[in-house]
Structure 1
Amino acid sequence: MLVRDAMSSVVLTIGPAHTLRHAARLMSGRRIGAAVVLDPDTYGVGILTERDILNALGRGQDPDTEAAHAHVTTDVVFACPDWTLDRAASAMVRGGFRHLVVLDGTEVVGIISVRDIVRCWVGEGRAVEAGSTAVPV
């Protein structure tokens, strides 16, 4: 089975100026653990995860003033839609993370999580089939 078969093609995208609280509210409302942060002026594609938000709160930072760009992971490992699930899972284990942004060329086409992979491995199928959820940057 391939990444394209398991990934979610509904990707929450936010801008670098979104506050951590706003990002957390959007992620919580969609019951997801990561948002893709698009900043074409600096680093391009990054990812903000629930762990990034948790670490900021643990350091006592204010979620109403802290911007996503200060907490985003920009050294992102990207997956390709034609990777096997084994390859994606191996990349996650090696990197110590639970989400991969999926690129087709330079275009973000999805995101895959450990949960998506496990669902496929136990026979519960594809995560989400269509569309994209974008928040104005």
Structure 2
Amino acid sequence: MLVRDAMSTVVLTIGPTHTLRQAAGLMAARRVGAAVVLDTAAEGMGILTERDILTSVGTGEDPDLETAGAHTTGDVVFASPSWTLEEAAEAMSRGGFRHLIVLDGEGPVGIVSVRDIIRCWAPVRRHRTTLVG
């Protein structure tokens, strides 16, 4: 199975000046665990994850003052839609992260997470009814 088959095509894109509270609100509303941070001034792309927000808040930083840009992972590993799920899982394992931005051409077309991969690999659980007779 390929990344394109597992990835979420809901890509939340925010700017580096969004506060962590704003980012968390947008992520919660869209039910995603990561946002792509586009910095047009620096012509770069990074990722802000729920873990980044949790780490900031957990260390006592104010989510209304801290910005996405200050907590963005800039050294991002990107996936291709044509990667296998094994390649994506290996990249995540090697890098110690749970999300990959999927690029096709210049822009993000999706995000694949560990949860997406598990959903594809795990057998479908079916409710079985046992008849007693």
Q: TM-score, normalised by structure 2?
A: 0.89
Aligned to 1:80: 80
Alignment of 1:34-73 (within 5 A): 34-73=34-73
- 8 A contact 1:6–1:120 mirrored in 2: yes
Q: Does 1:27 align with 2:36?
A: no
The aligned amino acid for 1:3 is V
- Return the index of the structure with the highest Cα Rg: 2
Q: What is the aligned partner in structure 2 of residue 119 from structure 1?
A: 119
* Secondary structure in 1 matching 2:112: strand
Partners of 2:31 and 2:88 in 1: how far apart?
A: 22
Give the equivalent residue in structure 2 for 1:107.
107
1:30 Cα deviation after fit: 1.8
Unaligned 5+ runs, structure 1? 125-137
Instruction: Name the aligned partner's letter for residue 23 of structure 2.
Output: A
CA apart distance, 1:75: 0.3
8 Å Cα contact 1:43/1:74 also seen in 2 = no
Identical-residue share of aligned pairs (%): 70
Map of 2:4 onto structure 1: 4
* 1:91 shift after superposition: 0.3
Structure 1 Cα separation of the partners of residues 49 and 10 of structure 2: 16
Q: Number of residues paired by the alignment?
A: 124
Over the aligned positions, Cα root-mean-square deviation in angstroms equals: 1.1
Q: TM-score, normalised by structure 1?
A: 0.87
Aligned partners of 2:91, 2:106: CA distance in 1, in Å? 19
Structure 1 residue 31 displacement after superposition? 1.8
Q: Post-superposition shift, 1:105?
A: 2.1
**Whole-Å separation in 2 of the counterparts to 1:39 and 1:63:** 20
Shift of 1:122: 1.9
Shift of 1:14: 0.5
Cα separation, 1, equivalents of 2:64 and 2:42: 23
Q: Secondary structure at the match of 1:28?
A: helix
Aligned partner letter, 1:75: D
For structure 2, the 5+ residue unaligned runs are 125-133
Once residues 62 and 48 of structure 1 are traced to their aligned partners in structure 2, the CA distance between those partners, rounded to angstroms, is 16
Q: Mark the CA change 1:108 to 1:17 in structure 2 (over 3 Å): closer, same or farther.
A: same
Give the drift of 1:28.
1.3
Q: Which amino acid aligns with 1:16?
A: P
Separation (CA, whole Å) in 2 of partners of 1:32 and 1:88 = 18
